[in-house]
Amino acid sequence: MTVLDSTEDKVNGFEVGGVDYVTKPIQHKEVLARVTTHLRIRDLTHKLQKTNQALSRANQKILTLNERLKAENLRMQAELDVARRLQQMVLPTTEELERVEGLDIACFMEPADEVGGDYYDVLEHDGRIKIGIGDVTGHGLESGVLMIMVQMAVRTLLVSKVSPPETFLNILNRAVYENLQRMNLKKNLTLSLLDYQKGQLCVTGQHEEVLVVRQGGKIERIDTLELDFMIGVIPDTADYVTRQEISLQPGEGVVLYTDGITEARNSDNQLFGLERLCEIVSRNWHLRSHEIQQAVIEDVRQHIGTQKVSDDITLLIIKQKSVQAEKP
């Protein structure tokens, strides 16, 4: 408060740090209002400082959590990379498929995620050929681990000469079920196994329909729903396992697939469908297995277009070679 009331005096007062300027004679109501306002500003300033300090601490926590999240993402990505490599390593090689006597085989698998839940294999031991295809529920690391587990179990039982096919599949189911219980995983899979010998196929296990392709591309659809129960759901499936026998002539064969093909959707949300798969296979059956596989996959990709692939895609084309094709 001062008697100096010129504009220059007021400016000088503010320049040296004043926050208000009251000239005499004093108006008590005015001074009280000014003091009340300054007290309110002080309180608000203190609150703002406390809020800023709290925000700073929260921001620091967020930065720390982000660093931890980055480290965790790197760790998880490394685990997924390992699982993906392991999954690819246990798949049959082209050289193995070419050595299978009497059959022309082409296989394709593309996971929707880093680690897929689809399973397929072609194994040969002491003249016995075991072909498998399955679909684990879900995707990701856990589904990939279950896929690897199933592959190893199938190979072990084949090498151990476990038979008949019904017993083979029931033992496989029990092993998978008990491992899933130990790991506390809510997973299971559909699985069909095919035993091939000299033109005869024995199919066991529940999965998608098996497409039997006859001479001229005529297709017979084999429903596998009644051939078993899903793997890993109950400990004993002995009462559910049955078989379907199929005889193949030279030039005939089977097509195995997962629902990632038949349920692939385009931009109009339309399914690729089993009928379209049958049409493409029938039209191209005169070609070699790998050419038929390429034709199917190209058609699926064309159907999907720019849509994101939402499920693993797996396809096996298996043709019995003609006598001429088997000759050197």
Q: 214-257, pLDDT tens digit by residue?
A: 999 999 999 999 888 899 999 999 999 999 999 999 999 999 99
* pLDDT band at residue 315 using 50, 70 and 90 as cut-offs: very high
**Which of 57, 89, 121 is a domain's end point?**
89
Asked if the model's pLDDT at residue 325 lies above 80, the reply is no
Query: Can you give the residue range of the structural domain that contains 216?
Result: 94-326
On whether the pTM is more than 0.85, the answer is no
Summarize pLDDT for 283-314 with one digit per residue, the tens.
999 999 999 999 999 999 999 988 887 788 99
pLDDT band at 59 (very low <50, low <70, confident <90, very high): very high
Same domain, 309 and 182: yes
Q: What is the mean pLDDT of residues 20-41?
A: 76
Residues 58 and 125 in one domain: no
Measured in degrees and rounded to the nearest 5, phi and psi for residue 134 equal -155, 175
Indicate the residue type of 36. Answer: T
Position 8 scores a pLDDT of: 77
pLDDT interval class at 27 (50, 70, 90) = confident
The reply to whether 233 and 85 lie within a common domain is no
pLDDT at residue number 215: 92
209: closest CA among 199, 224, 226?
224
Q: What's residue 293's pLDDT?
A: 97
Q: How many domains does the chain have?
A: 2
Most distant pair of Cα atoms in the chain: their distance: 122
Contact status, residue 173 vs residue 154, Cβ threshold 8 Å: no
For residues 84 and 130, state if they share a domain: no
Q: What pLDDT score was predicted for residue 5?
A: 62
CA gap 76, 80 in Å, rounded = 6
Together in a domain, 160 and 17: no
pLDDT for res 327: 46
Q: What is the mean pLDDT of residues 175-192?
A: 93
Tell me: pLDDT of 206 over 60. yes
Assess whether 106 and 225 both reside in one domain. yes
Q: Tens of pLDDT along 2-15?
A: 666 677 766 776 67
Q: Are residues 128 and 76 in the same domain?
A: no
- C-alpha 49/C-alpha 68 separation (Å) is 29
Domain of 145, CATH number, reads 3.60.40.10
Cα–Cα distance for residue pair 292/280, rounded to 1 Å: 8
Q: 155 versus 84: which is more confidently predicted?
A: 155
Domain endpoint, select from 52, 74, 89: 89
Q: Does the pLDDT value for residue 71 go beyond 90?
A: no
Residues with Cβ within 8 Å of 129's Cβ and at least 6 positions away in sequence, in order, are 100, 103, 122, 123, 195, 196, 197
- The Cα 317–Cα 54 span in angstroms is 64
For residue range 140-168, what is the model confidence (pLDDT) as tens digits?
A: 778 888 888 999 999 999 999 999 999 99
Same structural domain, 62 and 165: no
Region 302-328 average pLDDT:
81
Same domain, 173 and 77: no
Pair (82, 124) in one structural domain: no
Residues 63, 186 share a domain: no
Q: What is the pLDDT of residue 160?
A: 95
Same domain, 64 and 198: no
Please tell me the predicted confidence (pLDDT) of residue 264: 92
**Which residue, of 34, 68, 89, is where some domain finishes?**
89
Task: Put the strands of the sheet holding 219-222 in their side by side order.
Answer: 103-110, 313-320, 253-257, 210-213, 219-222
